[in-house]
Amino acid sequence: MRHGCKSLVNFELLPKPPETRAPDNPWPQWPRIYRVDYGHQEVAAKFGQDPRVYRILSKEFLDDGHGNVAGVRTVEVDLTKPRDQQEIPGTEKTWKADLILLAMGFLGPEQYVSDLLGIAYDPRSNYQAQHGPFATNVPKVFAAGDCRRGQSLVVWAINEGRGAARAIDVFLMGKSTLPAPG
C-alpha cells in the first residue's frame, strides 16, 4: 500500500475471529480474537474497508500469457468441520492482480539444501542445533535464528546470530573475543 497500489486484498482461509474469547479458547491459551493492526488500519483509511476477506481459498494463479501474474481464482470454504474444509459451490471468483505476495506462516526452513547435507531436524522441522554451540549434526555446519528456534522476534535472531558468530569463531580459531549473549 505504501508503494501506491490502487487496491489491496488480504485472503484468510480461516473464518473471521470473534471479538471476544470463544468458550473453546480459555485462558491460558493464546486468545484467538479479532485484531486490527496498523497495516489493516492504513488500508481501511485509504480504501474505506478492512482488506481481509475470510474463508477464502486460492485455487489458481492466472497469467497474462507472457508469464506475468494477472490474477488469482478463489473459492469460499465452509470450515464448520475444521479438519474437513469444503469448497462452497457457486462461490468461485477471479480477482485481477498485478502482484501477489504469499504469507503462509512459518513451517520451518526450506529443506532442499539441508536434506542434501543430511542436517537433522527437531520435532517442529527446524534445524536441530543446541543454543550456545549452534552446531548441527553435520560437521562445520551451524544454525541460528528462525531456522534453529522457529519463527520468533528479530531480537532473538540478532542474539542467535551473534552467538553463532562467536561459536564459529571458537571453532575456527580455538577462542573468540567476539561479544555474544549467553
pLDDT digits 0-9 by tens, 44-84: 999 999 999 999 999 999 999 999 999 999 999 998 876 78
Q: What value does the mean pLDDT take over residues 75-95?
A: 91
Q: Does the pLDDT value for residue 106 go beyond 70?
A: no
Q: Are 55 and 15 in contact (CB under 8 A)?
A: yes
Among 44, 60, 61, 62, smallest CA distance to 7 is for 44
Q: Please state the rounded mean pLDDT for residues 130-144.
A: 96
Phi-psi region of 157 (alpha: psi -120 to 50; beta: other; left: phi over 0): alpha
Question: What percentage of the chain reaches a pLDDT higher than 70?
Answer: 97
- Residue 137 · residue 118 · CB < 8 Å: yes
**Three-state DSSP class for 38?**
helix
Q: Is the pLDDT of residue 98 over 70?
A: yes
- The cell numbers describing 80, all together, are 464448520
- Identify the pLDDT of residue 133: 95
Q: Is residue 109 helix, strand or coil?
A: coil
pTM of the model: 0.59
Residue 1 confidence class, pLDDT cut points 50, 70, 90: confident
| pLDDT, position 124 | 86
Question: Which segments of 31-157 are extended strands (E)?
Answer: 52-54, 56-63, 69-78, 86-87, 93-96
